């Protein structure tokens, strides 16, 4: 078991014989647009073995169009529409049969910003389609399933008013759910709208956390449709309950909110928030129909029960905002915050209207007539749809929490004569800052250490060794900055400590590393 | 020091063959000893082969540390190169024929020369492998190769089957015949 210190030497190959003299694009360079080809030049003729490219999204592709001529290897570049940091992992065989491998890092457009959000330069058409699909899905879930729940639990007589609209909402929601899968895949692979039919795109969309949300949403919508269609009252109620819970689950399965730490708070908060929105917003459409039809009983029951979900809604909303924003001024300085502020503004108006309904108009219903109440409810309904449209924008903004530095990882490597304590802190858009403490077995610092190198490689993903040399900060403290780890997973890590000219201690082990683009 | 990637696409017989060939400790790539195996209790002519410079830069010095148990060390002069010997006490006394030696050469430095990357050269010294060295083990001669630009340290001692990029030249000891 050894510690790994990655030393960054642009030209030095990991193995000995053939040396990489130069590359195009140069190691560490940022080029304005995607290259047509990638070229590696060695100090002797080599035979290519494996070439892999890691995209900014973390996807690893094996490159097959490789040509060796004289002392260069030329690789035809695959389409590289994404802007960000790429890593070319190369492995060749020297003339004597000895394999050599390494990596070349470069960036297209700009180095990765380190934010796990879709690139702003992604296709606008795809983003618009995603927004629309999400909006229709939300309408299907909240208005459709929420409405079905209202009908099952609160409506007194049959046929249920506004049933056709609620059925239509759920049916549209189903369609939108299915369509959103390949759209998500398009965004993840940064491919244009016309590629929506490719199976790889569907597979990609399904593989994201959004895939889970879609599955839960589809199940929820089907249960909701059943609940609405059943004549058996108690069964309909049961199904409606399940469907309402399904709404909460669908939203908790993906998205920024449910992945914020601490998850033991954020996941239940998202669940409750989703359920309460469904109860409130879902009730508006059938409520308006009921009031017009003159059903006072359902209205009164609703008025009695509604404060609880609304209060829960406000409470969970505040909790989630608190978790997502790391400072109050993020409300107007970040795009995420701006979306939240607009949502809150309209929510306030909505709450005011709801209060108007409950405390002013409903008590005076017998006297004043239903027209005003229905109009206010209709306004509430429209505002709710606007809110759904606004929150759909969050898909395209990273929450401030995600922009702040991610958590530090502590790695301890141990071998006979020495130990290394490695603190790895991902820094947004700049790879990871690595701090290495080198001590002997008794935790005494190895003052004699002349040089410390870190090497990491990923046999599972097929990524060749990345080597960095650390700079000394104090007697036993060494530092590497900007270590970009292209994929998450199990890496092999080695720390090489140079004690004197003739002695080097090597400590090596497997470590679990996050992606730090 | 060869790692065959299991994930390499299209593992053909040729590739497997290359893997097998490469897995044999290939001496030609690094600074290595010509004779990788010798008997304990006999004299040993060590030939350090230097096939390359440092990433293309010419070699200007070779420094090798003599491990414990290798005694009566005498380097061969080399035109164009200056030899410096570092002498010190051995870890313990060794038998050299009928005599007892407890100190001697612990490091040899060849410097002042210039070996371009395109050329190959050998650095030779004569020595005796003490009889109290244990047969069956491998002893290492860590060597530092200094170049006009850069340094290569062939000093990594393998352990538990790990493969390191810059291993120290090793000598496998076998019993006296």
Mean pLDDT of each 10-residue bin along chain A, 517 residues long = 35 51 88 91 88 87 90 90 88 80 88 55 75 91 88 69 84 91 76 76 76 88 86 84 90 74 81 91 85 75 85 90 76 80 91 85 73 85 91 74 64 85 82 88 81 92 91 88 87 91 90 82
Alpha-carbon A514 to chain mean position: 14
Contact indicator for A493, A443 with CB cutoff of 8 Å: no
CA distances from A355 to A286, A402, B30 (A): 19, 36, 82
Q: What is the sign of the dihedral through the CA atoms of A192, A197, A203 and A205?
A: positive
CB contact under 8 A, B55 and A508: no
3-state SS class at A194: helix
Rounded to 10 deg, the angle between the A307-324 and A296-305 helix axes is 40
- Chain length of chain A: 517
Burial of A254 (0-12, 13-18, 19+ CB in 10 A): buried
Q: Is B56 in CB contact (< 8 Å) with chain A? A: yes
B7 shares contact with chain A (CB less than 8 Å): yes
Determine contact: A4 vs chain B, CB below 8 A: no
What is the spatial distance between Cα B150 and Cα A301, in angstroms, rounded to a whole number?
Answer: 84
Residues of A in contact with B50 (CB under 8 A): none
> Quick one: DSSP state of residue A393?
G
Smallest CA-to-CA distance from A414 within A344, A500, A338, A493 is with A493
Interface of A with B in 271-300 (CB under 8 A): none
Q: Is the peptide bond before A159 cis (omega within 30 degrees of 0)?
A: yes
Contact A21 B8 (CB under 8 A): no
Find, among A225, A236, A220, A224, the residue nearest to A153 by Cα: A236
A489 to chain B, any CB pair closer than 8 A? The answer is no
Which tokens go with A417? Answer: 């004569």
Minimum-distance CB partner of A96 among B9, B26, B117? B26
Taking each continuous run of H as one helix and of E as one strand, the counts in chain A are: 14, 18
For A217, the token pair is 């949403």
Q: In a 3-state reduction of DSSP, which class is residue B61?
A: strand
Q: How is residue B47 written in tokens?
A: 């030939």
Q: Whole-angstrom Cα distance, residue A307 to residue A141?
A: 21
Q: Taking the mean position of all CA atoms in its chain, how far away is CA A363? A: 47
Buried b or exposed e, range B18-33, using 16+ CB within 10 angstroms: bbeebeeebbbbbbbb
Q: What percentage of chain A's residues is helix, strand, coil (to nearest 5)?
A: 45, 25, 30
Assign residue A83 a region (left: φ > 0; alpha: ψ between -120 and 50; beta: otherwise): beta
Q: Which helix (H) or strand (E) holds B151?
A: strand B151-154
Chain A neighbors of B152, CB-CB under 8 A: 16
**Which alpha helices (H) appear in A76-156, and where do they start and end?**
124-138, 146-153
| Low-confidence residues in chain B, pLDDT < 50 | 1-28
- A15 and B1 within 8 Å at the Cβ level: the answer is yes
Q: Which of A255, A229, A250, A230 is nearest to A397 (CA)?
A: A255
Residues in a beta bridge with A47:
A93
What order do you get walking across the sheet with A37-42 strand by strand? Answer: A20-24, A37-42, A72-76, A66-69
Q: Which of A404, A428, A247, A260 is nearest to A334 (CA)?
A: A404
Reading the block at residue A242, the tokens are 């399940």
Residue with the two structure tokens 């007892």:
B100
* Residue A385 DSSP SS3: helix
- Count the alpha carbons within 13 Å of A311 in the hemisphere toward its beta carbon: 4
Residues 6+ apart with CB under 8 A from A55: A61, A80, A82, A84, A86
Count of CB atoms situated within 10 Å of the CB of B5: 18
> Which residues of A fall within a CB distance of 8 Å from B107?
502
Quick one: pLDDT at residue B60? 96
Q: What is the rounded distance in angstroms from the CA atom of residue A245 to the CA atom of residue A275?
A: 6
- Test A462 with B7 for CB contact under 8 angstroms: yes
CB-CB under 8 Å, A462 with B5 = yes
The edge-to-edge listing of strands for the beta sheet with B138-140 is B37-39, B170-174, B138-140
Q: Touching check for B94 and chain A: CB below 8 Å?
A: no
A-B C-beta contacts closer than 8 Å:
86
At residue B149, the 3 state secondary structure works out as coil
The answer to whether A45 faces chain B, any CB pair under 8 Å, is no
């Amino acid at each position: 078991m050894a510690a790994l210190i990655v030393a960054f030497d642009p030209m030095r190959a990991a193995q000995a014989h053939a040396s990489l003299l130069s590359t195009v694009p140069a190691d560490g360079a940022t080029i304005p647009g995607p290259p047509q080809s990638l070229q590696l030049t060695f100090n002797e003729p080599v035979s290519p073995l494996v070439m892999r490219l890691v995209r900014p999204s973390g996807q690893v592709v094996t490159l097959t169009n490789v040509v060796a001529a004289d002392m260069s290897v030329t690789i035809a570049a695959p389409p590289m529409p994404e802007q960000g940091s790429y890593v070319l992992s190369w492995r060749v065989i020297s003339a004597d049969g000895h394999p050599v491998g390494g990596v070349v890092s470069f960036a297209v457009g700009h180095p990765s910003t380190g934010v796990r959000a879709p690139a702003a330069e992604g296709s606008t058409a795809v983003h618009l389609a995603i927004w629309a699909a999400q909006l229709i899905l939300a309408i299907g879930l909240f208005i459709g399933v929420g409405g079905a729940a209202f009908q099952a639990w609160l409506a007194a007589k049959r046929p249920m008013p506004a049933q056709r609209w609620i059925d239509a909402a759920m049916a549209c929601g189903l369609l939108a759910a299915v369509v959103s899968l390949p759209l998500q895949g398009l965004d993840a692979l940064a491919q244009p709208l016309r590629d929506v039919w490719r199976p790889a795109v569907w597979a990609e969309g399904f593989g994201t956390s959004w895939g889970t949300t879609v599955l839960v949403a589809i199940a929820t919508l089907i249960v909701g449709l059943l609940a609405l269609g059943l004549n058996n009252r108690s069964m309909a109620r049961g199904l409606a309950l399940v469907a309402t819970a399904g709404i909460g689950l669908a939203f908790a399965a993906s998205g920024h909110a449910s992945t914020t730490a601490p998850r033991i708070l954020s996941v239940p908060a998202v669940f409750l928030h989703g359920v309460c929105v469904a109860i409130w917003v879902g009730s508006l459409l059938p409520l308006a129909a009921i009031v017009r039809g003159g059903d006072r009983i359902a209205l009164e029951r609703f008025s009695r029960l509604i404060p609880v979900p609304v209060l829960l809604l406000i409470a969970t909303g505040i909790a989630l905002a608190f978790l997502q924003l790391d400072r109050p001024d993020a409300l107007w300085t970040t795009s995420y915050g701006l979306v939240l502020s607009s949502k809150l503004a309209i929510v306030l108006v909505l709450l005011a209207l709801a209060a108007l309904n409950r405390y002013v108009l409903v008590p005076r219903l017998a006297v004043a007539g239903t027209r005003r109440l229905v109009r206010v409810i209709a306004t509430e309904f429209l505002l709710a749809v606007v809110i759904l449209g606004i929150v759909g924008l969050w898909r395209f903004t990273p929450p401030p929490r995600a922009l702040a530095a991610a958590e530090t990882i502590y790695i301890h490597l141990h071998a006979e004569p020495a130990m290394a304590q490695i603190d790895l802190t991902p820094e947004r858009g700049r790879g990871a800052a690595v701090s290495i403490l080198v001590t002997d077995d008794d935790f005494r610092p190895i003052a004699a250490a002349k040089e410390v190198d870190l090497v990491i490689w990923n046999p599972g993903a097929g990524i060749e060794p990345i080597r960095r040399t650390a700079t000394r900060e104090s007697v036993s403290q060494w530092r590497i900055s900007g270590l970009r780890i292209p994929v998450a997973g199990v890496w092999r890590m080695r720390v090489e400590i140079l004690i004197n000219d003739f002695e080097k201690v090597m400590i090596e082990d497997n470590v679990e590393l996050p992606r730090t683009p | 020091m060869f790692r065959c990637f299991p994930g390499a696409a299209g593992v053909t017989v040729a590739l497997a063959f290359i893997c097998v060939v490469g897995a044999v400790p290939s001496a030609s790539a690094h600074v290595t000893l010509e004779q990788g195996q010798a008997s304990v209790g006999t004299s040993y002519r060590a030939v350090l082969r230097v096939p390359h410079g440092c990433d293309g830069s010419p070699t200007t010095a070779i420094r090798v540390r003599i491990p414990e148990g290798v005694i009566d060390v005498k380097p061969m002069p080399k035109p164009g190169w200056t030899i410096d010997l570092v002498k010190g006490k051995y870890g313990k006394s060794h038998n050299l024929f009928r005599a007892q030696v407890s100190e001697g050469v612990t490091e040899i430095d060849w410097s002042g020369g210039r070996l371009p990357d395109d050329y190959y050269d050998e650095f030779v010294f004569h020595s005796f492998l003490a009889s109290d060295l244990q047969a069956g083990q491998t002893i290492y001669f860590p060597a530092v190769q200094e170049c006009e630009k850069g340094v290569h340290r062939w000093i990594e001692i393998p352990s538990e089957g790990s493969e390191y990029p810059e291993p120290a030249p090793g000598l496998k000891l076998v019993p006296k015949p």
